[in-house]
Chain A
Amino acid sequence: MLDISSDVKVLDITRNRVREQRTQREMSQAELAAALGVSRQTVISVESGRYLPSLPLAFAIARFSDLTVDKMFDPDEEAGT
């Protein structure tokens, strides 16, 4: 059986750059929520790492910041390249 576990980097996706990117753009949580089509509570939960967004929402968040999903949700990786 193929074992890829040693090659796969497990991300700490409870940490992300959502708050950092939002504050850089001087947006409020409510404004970001309206732009993403979700509630303010969901933005708060994503920022604090209490909720892991679905793939479509993760892509929407990343697109808003002009980052890729892995850069947005992997804070150890260099942002912006």
Chain B
Amino acid sequence: MTFIRPRLRKPMGYALAGAALAVAWAVRGGPSWFLSIVIEVGVLAIAITTYLRGGQDSDEGALAGSRADERQKLLGLRSWALAGNLAMIAAFTGLTIAVAARGRRLVAVPGNSRRRGLWLPARLVDLRPRGRGPGR
């Protein structure tokens, strides 16, 4: 990607991703359509902050500005690995609490996953139709 200045790469990525999410929210419609504006404003703020951080003479600045050297890339990888581990722990903790709090009955996810032992709490995977539909 030589056609985009390194410092602009991450902010532009964030801005484009946020714009896509905001458009998707607006297309979804409904009474909360205005949240798409909130999303867009928030993402623009993040993009501007990332651009400003990209100019700093620090490891974080180098990563934000896409000009990291080998040590800084290693630091970035380690921080992603730590974030992944924390996310896994949080997901497992959340699932455990959800099972304890709600799901006395467990339902197997149909198909191959059943054999693999992937179980989900029945209330988290509510397969019953919600509300009163048009009927059949």
- Grouping DSSP codes into helix (H, G, I), strand (E, B) and loop, the A interface class, with mixed when no group exceeds half, is loop
Complex CA distance for A48 and B136, rounded to whole angstroms: 75
Closest residue of A by beta carbon distance from B67: A39
The number of chain B residues touching the other chain, given as a range, is under 10
- B56 to chain A minimum Cβ distance, whole angstroms, is 11
A57 at the interface (CB under 8 A from B): yes
B58 at the interface (CB under 8 A from A): yes
Q: Which chain A residues border B59 with CB–CB below 8 Å?
A: 39, 41
Given contacts A51-B71, A57-B70, 13 further A-B contacts (CB under 8 A): A37-B69, A38-B69, A38-B70, A38-B71, A39-B62, A39-B69, A40-B57, A41-B58, A41-B59, A41-B62, A42-B70, A53-B70, A53-B71
Residues of B within 8 A of A (CB): 57-59, 62, 68-72
